[in-house]
Structure 1
Amino acid sequence: MLKAVIVDDEKPAIDILKIFLEKTGQVAVINTFQNPKKALNEIEKLKPDVVFLDVEMCGMSGIEVASNISLMDHNSEIVFVTAYDRYALQAFKVNALAYLLKPVLEKDINKTVKRLMKVCGELPMKQEVKLQARIQCFGEFEVYSNLSGQPLKWRTSKSKELMAYFFENRGIPISKWKLCEVLWPEGNQDKIDINLHTTIYKMKKTLRNSNIDVDVKFVNKAYVMNMKGVYSDLDEFDSLVEDKIVISDSNINKYEKAFSLYTNNYFEEDDYYWSIDLKEVYLQKFIRISKNLADFYIEKHNYDRAIIVIKKGMKISPLEEDLHETLLYIYVLTNDRISFLNHYDSLLELFTEELGIEPRNTLKGMYKKMVSNCG
């Protein structure tokens, strides 16, 4: 008999799910919670085999609850039950066993319980995967060996790029033609097959020499890479950041952590043309976090912290006008005329002399108001 906990802020959803689960005769619902924070405190004591989680809840998201559960000594399986399909990728990044959409159907519960019985039956005490490597994606792409703690030295730049591309597409089948197009877009077609096989060999040998177990299989004319025991700053960032970034007292710690993880843009130091789209996606997330964090600190009158956040944001994205406007606004709030005028002058030089455009009207208005106050 599996021990289960249900966490959902809607009581009717809990009642229906409980009925379906107990009807299987293989699951005992030992507790239910409408408050996710209270659930977290109790789950560590209850040590359930499985936790059924809603995603969007007041106070704390299901993704955040699952991330915290993964840090506990007792490993519980996670099953998400939600009305939204847009969180599926985040859900599986926190190792969810299943992702069910509301309204939940009895047949889906029966299927999920069969999977749970198989997993929990084969692994009564789920073994913790030993960390083999750490992967850095923000800034320069690096793979660090857990043995030495040092970044791997790749035999060729192409073997490193291949690893980066595999990591970006981990778990996704990639045809050999796509790999060749990515690595040798203008290469000699006669040698491409040989180059690919040689590069895969060199990549795998570099990883194997550092005791990093990366499974690369060729199935149905496509390569698939799967990784176990690997930490990455990108995965942690994704686990912390929700689609809709709203920062509050209840989640400020996780957004501060995400902000600190973003040391530079995705693969910033690597000239990988294929990473441009994802680089822009993460940059826009970082900008929103920077702006929202600063707004949060301004509301708390913690202006020093807000300035630190904004200046880091501008260092990474110097042309983002929203960040400049927020910084100038802080100087207005703190009546720091000298800092305001100095920054506005540097902003004016950046925009007019280097880009040939003028700052937006709201910035000009702030400048005129500050100058008139000086007079």
Structure 2
Amino acid sequence: MDKILMNNQRIRSQVDMVKTKSRVSMEKMKDCVWIYDFDMKRFLYINASSSQLGGLTADEAMKKKAEAFFTSESLEKIESACYYRYLQYMDGNRSDNIVYDLSEYEQYNQDGSIKHIEMSTRLDFNENTHSVVMIGVSRNVTTQKIHQQELIETIKSQLILIKEFQVVDNDKPELQVYFFGKFRVLNSHVKKPIKWRTTKTEELFAFLIENDKPYVSKDKILESLWPDLGIEKAAKYLHTNTYNLKKDLKSAGISFQLELINGFYCYDVQNIHSDLAELRSMIKTVGVDYENFDDEEVDKIEQVILLYESDYLAENDYLWATSQSAFYRKQYEKYVFTLARYYFFKRNYPSTERVLCKLIEIDNFNENYHELLLQAYLFDQDYISFVDHYKELKALFLIELDQTPSPSIQGLYKKYRDSVEVSRNNKNVKTDL
């Protein structure tokens, strides 16, 4: 009973805190306002406008988990971004790109249809309960998305007309773009990196090419690359950098068409190949049922392992890349671990060990990776590697985490030691005979 009372008091405290900071009545807003507690993993408050978004009353929505509202792709995007922001916030980072976020997601309606919503969120700390909450405002932008799609179709038709008047040079150089680790752009024929006039010009090109469509809105570029500047000043910087971008590529003998049409920058990416495109292709075409993998799926994951030198834009200070970095790392680890399980399932223990060592280089504290690696050593009868790895893992956990490996990992080692002891006793019995 005391615990229930404390939770109710905590909820009232956090809701009152947010209402005090708000200048308008949340109940009268047309947009859906909500509060989510990270520690409790539940909504503390949802206003009456929730019915306009998902068809549920506020009371009904309060009983649902976050997973029930969003499509799987949007949920994965939210989890990656929010988890990173939460950790940074708990570490004392109060910069605007951590505290505030504005993104679009797909949300289920009660009838099963999908609505596009724009979600503005802010992290806050309740001094009374010492917990972090996320305060959000969700807005239905489905109609705007429909109009935007109509505009995009118009832009596509205009691009076709533009290409009809362009001289097609089949021998023009191709670009090889690398996103994982440090951003690099190479002329694939001469294998030389492109020299950029400024780091912002390089960032602009990265922002354009990382988009999986051959167009991006001017407003999105301004908000992402110059979030702290006014519109007019940011627009001047964008104009200067687009000029530098074309000039830098032209000086390298590369033709890159970049046109501003109806508020969208449109460009041709057919002559560009990137490691990011390889990863995205793998995510779209490879399943996670390792028992039914075919050779093509295995090859695609192996190719991504070769390309994934480090996290997405790990050596570049691009604020807009933060959430994508967490998402791509999670996807990479998921598929590569699935490949390791496939190799283990096929009794290909050397390949299992090779792939798992790649994962452990990225996440040295993931016990699932270590446990499967230890099992591979045992089945491969590589007992020296098994013992060495277990001892190194145990020392690592004691030094860094002040704890021992999981019971299942310790159980593997105990089972091995018991089998060694039994074998030794049997050998002694034979000697006595």
Shared fold (TM-score, shorter chain, > 0.5)? yes
C-alpha contact (below 8 Å) 1:158/1:199 kept by paired residues: yes
1:195 correspondence with 2:237: yes
Query: How far apart, CA to CA, are the structure 2 residues paired with 1:195 and 1:330?
Result: 55
Partner of 1:340: 386
Given residue 197 of structure 2, which amino acid in structure 1 is its aligned partner? R
In the TM superposition, residue 173 of structure 1 has moved relative to its aligned partner by 4.7
Structure 1 residue aligned with 2:299, among 228, 234, 253? 253
C-alpha contact 1:331 1:339 (8 A) present in aligned 2: yes
Residue 244 of structure 1, aligned match among 284, 287, 306: 287
C-alpha separation in 1, matches of 2:224 and 2:193: 24
CA distance in 2, matches of 1:189, 1:349: 54
Contact 1:170 1:225 in 2 (8 A): no
Greater gyration radius: 2
Cα RMSD of the aligned pairs, angstroms, is 3.2
The answer for the alignment partner of 2:322 in structure 1 is 276
Equivalence for 1:299: 345
Q: TM-score, normalised by structure 2?
A: 0.52
CA contact (8 A) 1:170 1:226 kept: no
- The answer to whether the 8 Å contact 2:173/2:254 transfers is no
Aligned partner of residue 231 in structure 1, secondary structure: strand
Specify whether residues 188 and 371 from structure 1 end up closer, same or farther in structure 2 by C-alpha distance, changes over 3 A only.
farther
**% identical equivalent positions:** 32
Measured in 1, the distance between the counterparts of 2:397 and 2:242 equals: 46
1:168 to 1:307, Cα distance in 2 relative to 1, 3 A: same
The answer to whether residue 269 in structure 2 is matched with residue 227 in structure 1 is yes
The corresponding residue for 1:141 is: 183
Q: Contact between 2:360 and 2:366, CA under 8 Å: does it hold in 1?
A: yes
Displacement of 1:327 after TM fit?
A: 0.7
Deviations 1:290-334 (A, max 9, x none): 222222222333222221111112113333332111111112223
* Stretches of structure 1 lacking an aligned partner (at least 5 in a row): 1-114
For 1:62-73, list aligned pairs within 5 A: none
3-state DSSP of counterpart to 1:214: coil
1:235 Cα deviation after fit? 1.8
Equivalent residues in 2 for 1:39-54, closer than 5 Å: none
Q: How many residues align?
A: 254
In 1, Cα distance between equivalents of 2:408 and 2:208: 45
For residues 1-375 of structure 1, what are the structure 2 equivalents within 5 Å? Answer: 132-171=174-213, 173-187=215-229, 191-241=233-283, 242=285, 244-247=287-290, 248-251=293-296, 252-355=298-401, 358-375=404-421
Deviation at residue 358 of structure 1 after TM alignment:
4.8
Cα distance in structure 2, aligned partners of 1:220 and 1:356: 58
Q: Tell whether the 8 Å contact from 2:397 to 2:405 is kept in structure 1 after alignment.
A: yes
The answer (yes or no) to whether the contact 1:170–1:224 under 8 Å persists in 2 is no
Q: Is the 8 A contact 2:275 2:307 kept in 1?
A: yes
**Deviations 1:313-372 (Å, cap 9, x if unpaired)?**
211333333211111111222343432232223323433432455533322322332343
Structure 1 runs (4+) greater than 6 angstroms displaced: 126-129
Q: Distance in 2 between matches of 1:209 and 1:254?
A: 34
CA distance in 1, matches of 2:171, 2:327: 30
SS of corresponding position for 1:153: coil
The one-letter code matched in structure 1 to 2:355 is V
Q: Is the 8 A contact 1:245 1:289 kept in 2?
A: yes
**Structure 1: distance between partners of 2:187 and 2:403:** 47
TM superposition shift of 1:159:
0.9
Change (3 A) 1:184 1:346: farther
Shift of 1:180: 2.8
Distance 2:369 2:405 in 1: 12
Call closer, same or farther: CA 1:181–1:355 in 2, change over 3 Å: farther
Q: Secondary structure at the match of 1:144?
A: strand
